[in-house]
Structure 1
Amino acid sequence: MLAEIRGLNEECGIFGVWGHPEAAQLTYYGLHSLQHRGQEGTGMVVTDGENLKTVKGEGLVSEIFTSEAMEQLSGKAAIGHVRYATAGGSGYENVQPLQFNFQTGSLALAHNGNLVNATALKHQLEAQGSIFQTSSDTEVLAHLIRRAGFPQLKDQVKNALSMIKGAYAFLILTENELMVALDPNGMRPLSIGMLGGSYVVASETCALDIIGAEFVRDVTAGELVIINDEGIRSELYALPSNQAMCTMEYVYFSRPDSNILGINVHTARKNMGKKLAQEVQIEADVVTGVPDSSISAAIGYAEASGIPYEMGLIKNKYVGRTFIQPSQSLREQGVKMKLSAVRGVVEGKRVVMVDDSIVRGTTSRRIVRMLKQAGATEVHVVISSPPIKNPCFYGIDTSTKEELMAASHSVEEMREEIGADTLTFLSVEGMLEAIGNQSTDENCGQCLACFTGKYPTEIYPSTIHPYEKV
């Protein structure tokens, strides 16, 4: 759905290029294709082999990287970032990549994810004399790298990575190399591609496609990849733990044309819709999906149920993803601005409304009301994921159970709250089968914490809301 316009804020997106004369231009297009992962701020750092140059700001990719800004960004390598505020909040100083200058050179960091022990590490580092310039958890890694007592940067980075916990995909750029790291649970998607003789790294494969790069492989859990003018090499900085890819990447976050661990997102979502149709049989006249992330599941539900799919809801594509705005009043207004019901499709019809998740329930309630005001005689809401009952500490903006409708309401109570005639969620087993990850562990290689409460890493007390218990 529109992520409660949205109670779910998205993870960030990162993109990097090494060894291309138009690295900045390629990074611009890559970030543009990842814009769905965050709209609060964006930045880019470029190296010409001698110096790092940064351009960043609060806003969209097209707003920050003007023609004048792009003229400043010439070099053979670049890293970029699109963000929404996770740990640290908003503000220009928290827009990534973060650049740090030392007597011996410079370093820039771009991070997708969230460190669950960042607060504890900050306290420790500050006690040792560190001064933080941002409130972002990403800066912790820079301080750990700088304090590591090893002569080579590679070993400094590996030592620093061994001290942080949580979900993270990092890009680290210096004057003469690009480093890529993924957490030991592999909780974030991160892929490597090639464009001629140049290397490209991106949060999603759709960003490789847009610049014509060829997918090579996914970065593996606990891996540190080092790219420079001599080529590419890989080392493990930590033994991989159980694979725990964020399931919400398949359900909502990633673009449908992306592949995650070899699985196409559109196909996974369509399979979720098919599984829903197998798990619940509803007598209805039309199936419609809430644009955009629920369309694939709605098509799958329609195919499996035999009920025709129709465009019962239309999205105004000229309005930004307003759920990323911090004000709840803006989110609420955004529902009316972004969606409208098609009376000619739903009037006098029993409608199956397919959505990907329910967070606070406010948006679902408004959409159900919208459909009924347009003349739908019945609205049956089917959700292509299980109820989200538990907070996420890994980079999704649901840090307390108080924000989650399913944490305090039964399915029947939720149905009454949103005004639907029926409400059905996909089972955990059905969702895992639909995704089709071939991992042999009990979670099929997925992080299911928001559904089951079983977290793949230790959760540090400083990470948890003061009144929250997990």
Structure 2
Amino acid sequence: MEQLKHECGIAMIRLLKPLEYYQEKYGTWMFGLNKLYLLMEKQHNRGQEGAGLACVKMEANPGEEYMFRERALGTGAITEIFSSVQFRFRDLSAEQLADATYAKRQLPFAGEIYMGHLRYSTTGKSGLSFVHPFLRRNNWRAKNLALCGNFNLTNVDEVFADITAKGQHPRIYSDTYIMLEQVGHRLDRESERLYAEAVGLGLSGMDITHYIEERIDVNNVLRTAAPLWDGGYVVCGATGSGEMFVLRDPWGIRPAFWYKDDEVLVVASERPVIQTVFALETEQIHELMPGQAVSVHKDGEMRLEQILQPKEVKACSFERIYFSRGSDRDIYLERKALGMQLRDAILKAIGGDLEHTVFSFIPNTAEVAFYGMLDAFKAYLNQTKIAQIEALGHKPTHEELERILSQYIRSEKVAIKDIKLRTFITEGNSRNDLAAHVYDITYGSVNAYEDNLVVIDDSIVRGTTLKESIIRILDRLHPKKIVLVSSSPQVRYPDYYGIDMSNMDEFIAFRAAVELLKERGMAHVVGEVYEQCKMQMGLPKEEMANSVKAIYAPFTDEDISRKMVEMLRPAGVTTPIEIVYQTLEGLHEACPEHSGDWYFSGDYPTPGGVKLVNRAFISYYENVFKANK
């Protein structure tokens, strides 16, 4: 019901044949460029703020450009950057455009390495200068670096201190720029190591260049740069001399998948994207494992190497619940399982009255969980019918069978998204009035005052849309009871690995817990947590514990859900309302391979996450709680 901004998307292609090969087989040397466009469009769900692409042309002569980049802002950025590339070819004849040798020698973006990025800011920093890929230029081809990634570092301060201690002077304080400078510094050292070797062998001139470019090892660069990084990341890089790499964080927080044949190596954030673009089967796609890097040398040799020791795997569960495309085979089944897990809690909320209950979903991203929920109730109803027939104790009559078998699970499309809230309206009351009309209701889908209405969402985080729009429009149907269902557990803690959830007081679960503490005469707990967080700020992050858990400790999930209902109920709405959340146990049973649940449990996988949640609570207490006491 409320959209979350989330992590970025990446796509990389390394062509393993000459451009002439693709011209002859596929009718265009732009095979790699076209495939990159498709990979990015198929991941458009991951980036609405901007997009960028970079290309490396190998074997360019001195004086010829060999690294190219295009970036743009906005939801139409993908179209804009690829249109800009094609615009450069507008004056070419058909013969020139079909000449791969000419393209390789003369045209921009006619290369062997392609890198694409979709950006969704989670740091509050926006603008074209923050759109990936980033470039680090140098007169030595091997020292040029293009970098992009799907990441948030939680210890930017430590990485910044490390590189400034080595004498570097980053222009901007952001994790991407700082990572670019740090990796670039290690790339310089790797190049200089080989330079010294070449000179020691008596080489000079371009022979030194060739010696460096034939032997440079980007995995050496990663082994010296990456151990300092704390956070969730998939980092992609390409050098001017033709090296490329993709590295995944050792906790497996952020996702990456790859495929290779004799024509191409491709990497993307989501598996079905590669499947669709290259017409592959699920089993042909490989997951890049935690701490692992896939790299391709200038000569086309691919390597899979363990750069960082794998930690306890904490792959992001929100990827499965919400972010990744539901067309992935496993994600589709997991989302259905999430809906199935909720059956018993929903039955309790409706008092077991399936005859007078209508099921629906808002928004469309919750549709697959909705199907799983329906499947669970259909199976339950079938078992109920069998029990009813067996309980008759005699051969049932036609009328008895008809009465029993005519029972069914009722589902309707009760709400349709109708308009987008116009952001040029800034006055609060006007915006609230518009928000109330974002969804259009399907009148007559519920028997007024007789039917319960169960509506499933994939997550209920802030509650703003519920209060300003959803509850009001559902109430217009006059249901006997509204049951709001979340296929994910209560979001209680900020995320620092790529999702736009960083402030404590934006979570309705947190606000509800604080209100309960006040009501029950336990407001002192908030101050005690603040003091505990303050005391820990002097400790190394590895020794910190999440003190914020104490805010929730006195209450059950049901306590917090009931308080949420009180806080979210719009004025004038008297219909009984209940909120049903997924449990942590249900989440892990549905998504067993993706145990990263820190936004629900507070169990951060990295020390940097623990440090930042304590810091966030300090900020909340000093800026919000004190002011409202």
Superposed displacement of residue 75, structure 1: 2.1
1:341 aligns to 2:437 (yes or no): no
Q: Is this contact kept in 2: 1:94–1:134, CA < 8 A?
A: no
Show the counterpart of 2:607: 458
Amino acid in structure 1 at the alignment position of 2:127: G
Q: Tell me, yes or no, if structure 1 residue 436 matches structure 2 residue 436.
A: no
Q: 1:378·1:421 contact (CA, 8 Å) conserved in 2?
A: yes
Q: 1:168 aligns with which of 198, 208, 233?
A: 233
2:81 counterpart of 1:65 = yes
Change in 2 beyond 3 A, CA 1:266/1:131? same
Tell me, in whole angstroms, the C-alpha distance in 1 between the residues paired with 2:85 and 2:427.
Answer: 33
Matched, 1:119 2:157: yes
Question: Does the residue aligned with 1:447 lie in a helix, a strand or coil?
Answer: coil
Match of 1:45 among 54, 73, 78: 54
Q: Paired residue for 2:323?
A: 253
SS class of match (1:294): helix
CA distance in 2, matches of 1:432, 1:10: 21
Please give the residue correspondences for 1:392-407 in structure 2 after superposition, counting only pairs within 5 Å: 392-407=495-510
Aligned counterparts of 1:447 and 1:157: Cα–Cα separation in 2: 25
Kept in 1: contact 2:597–2:603 (CA 8 A): yes
Secondary structure of the equivalent of 2:566? helix
Is 1:241 matched with 2:393?
no
Residue in structure 1 matching 2:69, options 54, 57, 61: 54
Give the superposition deviation at 1:125. Answer: 2.7
1:417 CA drift (Å): 2.5
Query: Following the alignment from structure 1 to structure 2, what is the Cα–Cα distance between the partners of residues 462 and 405?
Result: 20
**How many corresponding residue pairs?**
450
**Counterpart position of 1:18:** 14
Contact 1:15 1:203 in 2 (8 A): yes
**Hey, what does 1:369 align to over in structure 2?**
472
Native 8 Å contact 2:436 2:473 kept in 1? no
Structure 1: which 5+ residue stretches go unaligned? Answer: 438-444
Q: Output the TM-score relative to the length of structure 1.
A: 0.88
Determine if contact 2:345/2:580 at 8 Å carries over to the other structure: no
Provide the rounded CA distance (Å) in 1 between the counterparts of 2:433 and 2:265.
42
Could you say what secondary structure the match of 2:310 adopts? coil
How much has 1:373 moved relative to structure 2?
A: 2.2
Percent identity over paired residues: 27
2: distance between equivalents of 1:296 and 1:89?
33
The residue aligned with 2:374 is 302
SS in 1 for 2:304: strand
Residue 167 of structure 1 and its aligned partner are, at CA, apart by 0.4
What residue in structure 2 maps to residue 385 of structure 1? 488
Q: Distance in 1 between matches of 2:34 and 2:433?
A: 35
Counterparts in 2 of 1:154 and 1:455: CA distance versus 1, 3 Å: same
Whichever structure has more strand as a proportion of its residues is 1
Residue of structure 1 aligned with 2:595, choices 441, 446, 451: 446
The answer as to whether partners of 1:343 and 1:375 remain within 8 angstroms in 2 is: no
SS at match of 2:253: coil
User: What CA distance in whole angstroms lies between the structure 1 residues aligned with 2:479 and 2:35?
Assistant: 47
1:86 aligns with 2:122: yes
Report which of the two structures shows the higher radius of gyration computed on alpha carbons: 2
Aligned partner letter, 2:494? P
Alignment of 1:169-318 (within 5 A): 169-175=234-240, 176-194=242-260, 197-214=263-280, 215-228=284-297, 229-258=299-328, 264-281=330-347, 282=350, 283=353, 284-306=356-378, 307-316=409-418
Q: Which residue of 1 aligns with 2:40?
A: 31
Q: What's the offset of the Cα at 1:418? A: 2.8
Per the alignment, residue 619 of structure 2 pairs with 467
Report the TM-score, using the length of structure 2 for normalisation.
Answer: 0.67
- Structure 2 counterpart SS, 1:90: coil
CA distance in 2, matches of 1:222, 1:331: 46
Deviation, structure 1 residue 333? 8.0
Match of 1:441 in 2: none
Report the Cα offset of residue 210 of structure 1.
3.0
- Write the deviation string for residues 300-326 of structure 1: whole angstroms up to 9, x where unpaired: 11221243332222235x969x99x9x
Larger helix percent: 2
Q: CA RMSD in A?
A: 2.7
Q: Distance in 2 between matches of 1:145 and 1:203?
A: 21
Gaps of 5+ in 2: 16-21, 23-28, 61-65, 89-107, 194-215, 379-408, 513-559, 570-575, 622-629
Partner Cα distance (1:194, 1:24) in 2 = 17
Alpha-carbon distance change, 200 to 319 in structure 1, aligned in 2, over 3 angstroms: farther
